[in-house]
Amino acid sequence: MDELNVDYPLTDEQIGAYRRDGFAKLPNVLSQEVLADYGSEFTRMVYALNRQTLALAERNTYGKAFLQVPNLWEHSEKVKKFVLCRRLGKIAAELMGVNGVRMYHDQALYKEPGGGFTPWHVDQFYWPLANDNTVTAWIPLQDVPVEMGPLSFCIGSHKLLQNRGLSISDESEQKIGRTLNDYPKCVSPFALGEVSFHSGWTFHRAGPNRSDQMRAVMTIIYMEDGMKVAPPKSENQQRDWDRWLPGAQVGEPIDTPLNPVIYSALE
């Protein structure tokens, strides 16, 4: 599986689109063979580590949106090899225009058959980080037609400041949705091997899974190498600091065992 260490040839148009729109959907990033091989391990770990025991009907909106299992790489050497791979890390660095990236954390997001929508939100609301150089790779393990709930984006919304301070909830869906009424959206299926990268401040959501199959997705959150911790603005950010940045100090570059360098152009 040397593919994970082979560079993906980004074009100037793709880089420009990411910086203009706040996201990029890139075709043929990963082969069917790699997704099948590593995907089976992601799925094994999700079922082993999942702590959700309530039936769908008994959960709140957040709980219905997906089974969320973070930092699989701490529990599996195979997952570690995938999430720390050069191929995806270099894409993240080049899209952001930085010299290198570190791990913030990974998480599997599996939307069950009949699972609900994922409300509008921005990811960086949860992160105590000092600048905007963050990006999330959204990696489906199968084709994702619209009826399965692909990730969708509000185009150019990484530049909007209104309603950034809302956690994933019915309130965020309603308030952010009203704010974004006049902005264009990208709602389209994902082909097998297609991977999206979106900025930490890009507003995004996903529809419900109306299919009879699990929507299996792995995500990796990258931050600029040299990122510093910002004073937490909420309990959410304090929890993230404690969990994902253990031992990092406010105002200092992040360099902990949970935040290894994934790619550096300087090495």
Domain residue spans of the chain: 2-245
Instruction: Tell me what pLDDT residue 1 has.
Output: 56
Instruction: Tell me what pLDDT residue 173 has.
Output: 96
Residue spans of the chain under pLDDT 70: 1
DSSP H helix total and E strand total for the chain: 7, 11
Nearest of 227, 259, 222, 231 to residue 243 by alpha carbon: 259
> What kind and span of H or E run contains 174?
helix 170-179
Superfamily of domain 2-245: q2cbj1_9rhob like domain (2.60.120.620)
Residue 94: what are its φ and ψ, rounded to 5°?
Answer: -70, -35
Strand partners, 221: 105, 136
Q: Are 92 and 62 in contact, with CB atoms under 8 Å apart? A: no
Q: Are 253 and 227 in contact, with CB atoms under 8 Å apart? A: yes
User: With 0-12 CB in 10 A as exposed, 13-18 as middle and 19+ as buried, what is 110?
Assistant: buried
Instruction: Tell me what pLDDT residue 170 has.
Output: 95
Q: Global pTM? A: 0.97
Helix, strand, coil percentages, rounded to 5, for the chain = 35, 25, 40
Instruction: Tell me what pLDDT residue 267 has.
Output: 77
